[in-house]
Structure formats: structure tokens, C-alpha cells
Amino acid sequence: MIPTPMPIPHPATARPRASLLVAATLILGVAGCSHSSPTPSGGSSPQLASSTAVPTPTATPSPAPTPVFTNPADPELAALIPAKVGSQAISIPKVDQFSVTPGDIGEVYGDIGLRFIALQVAYVESPRLSLYAMRLRPPFPPTRDLEPYLASAGQYVGIAGLHREPWKLQAVADRLVWVRPEDNATVAGTMIYTWAADEYVFLLIGVDDSLNRALLAALPGEPLPTPSPRPSGSPRPPATPLPSESASG
């Protein structure tokens, strides 16, 4: 089993900063008399008769999402993960058997992670594999939108450094996923995958890539984009090969 990463510490509650209040009062006495103009009698002042202006209401901005550091059971999310892939059993612990929360792993995925509301982990002890499945609030991101968070996602599951370059967007099991190979901090043959599928985001790491891909194929995924139809009579553009499933990244 790939050990479950230590939970990312909850963001420390910001301490209120002590504010320095400087007050200055200036009193100015003015001696003198002023002659008051007589108040006109009869009739009301045009200014008094004018109606009072109604203030324009200001729009209240929507509150920003906040990370969720509780993890209630989500049976539908857990049911997405198969109990077995081929002859290999998948362990799916109950939420009270692991300490990671949506807010913990959400810090890895930045603004997208702020919308995580449920987390289910699964694992295989041998060959080692770990899966993190997250449910999130709308709006739901496409897989491409995970790109800014790839380096931190890799570091969360054991990659030594924060590097974006080794990640490749590839077609795997007829869906679009981000793929990254091992580095010097992981076991040889380790592969990491992350992808989005409607209201879910997944992060998968394992040392047996045939098992990795079999589990990936059993989970929800984002379908590959459909090529736009060509107008009739237009010349056929040169073929652009799709990313190979066997590419090492």
C-alpha cells in the first residue's frame, strides 16, 4: 500500500492584527457675530419641497467558497470505485478509517479544490496503488483546467519537486487525462494520473501501470473531444495523431 500522505495541516486561523488607532481632535473657536437673514414667511422653500433622493442599492458580492475540513460519508462517491479490477481486489475504507478531508487535498488543487465537498480513498497493497476521488460543487472543471495544479498534485502523492514539465495531457482508456512518470523519490515504474469528470476529480498513483489503467477505465472520465465535421468538398487536413496511450510522458 502506498501510505496515505500526511494530511495537509489545516490553514491556521488568522490571528487578528492589532490595530493602532491614532486620534486627533482639533477645536477651533471663532468669535464673532453674524447677521441672520430673516426667514421668509408664507410658502415653503423650493429646497424643502424637493423630494429626498433614494440611495441606489449596492450589489452584494457572492461569498467565496471555503474549504471543507469534514468528510461525511458519500455512498454514491464510494460506489464509483469498483471492489475488484480483474482478479485484483480494491480496498475502499470507510471515511472514519482515514483522516484526510476534502479541504486537505483541496489545497493541492487551488481554486478548484475550494469546491471539494467529499473525499473517498481506495488502495491496493500489492502492487501498490492509491486513489483519491473527490466530489465538488459547480462549476465543474474540464480536465485541462487542472493544469495549474499538476505540480502540487504530484508532490502530494510523493513526487520530490514541484515540476510541471513531466506532465502530459494524453488519451487513456478513451478519456482525457494528465499523466506523469516517476522521479527519483518514487518506485521505478510509478505513474500518476489526474483527471476531471463532471462533478468529480480523481488522483491516482500506482506502480503497475496495467492495473492503473484498468482502474482508470472503470471510473468516470472526460470523453475525448469529437473532431469537427469538415465542409463537403473541402480538402482533408493533414492527420494529427492522438497522444499514444503507451507514451511514457
Q: How far apart are CA 100 and CA 119, in angstroms?
A: 8
Q: How far apart are CA 106 and CA 102, in angstroms?
A: 6
Report the CATH number at residue 165: 3.40.1000
Q: Which helix (H) or strand (E) holds 106?
A: helix 102-106
Residue 246 lies in a domain: no
Q: How far apart are CA 217 and CA 162, in angstroms?
A: 27
Q: Are 171 and 242 in contact, with CB atoms under 8 Å apart?
A: yes
Residue 155 lies in a domain: yes
Per-residue pLDDT of the chain (249 residues), as tens digits, is 455 544 444 443 333 333 333 333 333 344 444 445 555 555 555 554 455 666 776 666 667 789 999 999 999 999 999 999 989 999 999 999 999 999 999 999 999 999 999 999 999 999 999 999 999 999 999 999 999 999 999 999 999 989 899 999 999 999 999 999 999 889 999 999 999 999 999 999 999 999 999 999 999 999 998 876 666 665 655 555 555 444 434
**Structural domain count of the chain:** 1
pTM for the whole structure = 0.70
What is each CA distance from 14 to 10, 17, 19, 22, 52, in whole angstroms? Answer: 11, 9, 14, 24, 43
Residue-level pLDDT at 71: 97
Residue 103 lies in a domain: yes
Residue-level pLDDT at 95: 97
Residue 136 lies in a domain: yes
Q: Are 159 and 189 in contact, with CB atoms under 8 Å apart?
A: no
Residue-level pLDDT at 226: 83
List phi, psi (to 5°) of 51.
Answer: -70, 150
Residue 92 lies in a domain: yes
Q: Which domain holds residue 125?
A: 75-218
Residue 119 lies in a domain: yes
Q: How far apart are CA 177 and CA 242, in angstroms?
A: 13
Residue 225 lies in a domain: no
Residue 111 lies in a domain: yes
